[in-house]
Amino acid sequence: MGDTETYTVSGPDGDEESFELPAGLVDVLSEQGEPSTRVVTDVVVQAMAQQAHVIAHHSEGEVPEDIAEMNETAAELFEERFGQSLEDALGHSH
């Protein structure tokens, strides 16, 4: 196995989880001068917004109100962070 870099995520309750990524991968994904933590957190925000979208719009049956609200909030946070709507980023809307 090649070299790795460790990142740690802290939750609102104080719990922490560390994970390894291949050394240099974050640098490949970053723009010049962009902090590595920003790149990693961008990926987390993107992934979570996409997962919320899938749960809310591509699941069988009726979506509970709290899930719909989480999806809406995730989409709003995505747009605030990236300056474009999640629907535009995904290439479709509902």
Single pTM value for the model? 0.87
What is the Cα–Cα distance from 72 to 58, expressed in whole angstroms?
14
What is the Cα–Cα distance from 45 to 31, expressed in whole angstroms?
17
Residue pLDDT, tens place only, 7-47: 999 999 999 999 999 999 999 999 999 999 999 999 999 99
What is the Cα–Cα distance from 44 to 34, expressed in whole angstroms?
16
* 3-class state of residue 39 by DSSP: helix
What is the Cα–Cα distance from 39 to 7, expressed in whole angstroms?
11
Residue pLDDT, tens place only, 67-89: 999 999 999 999 999 999 999 99
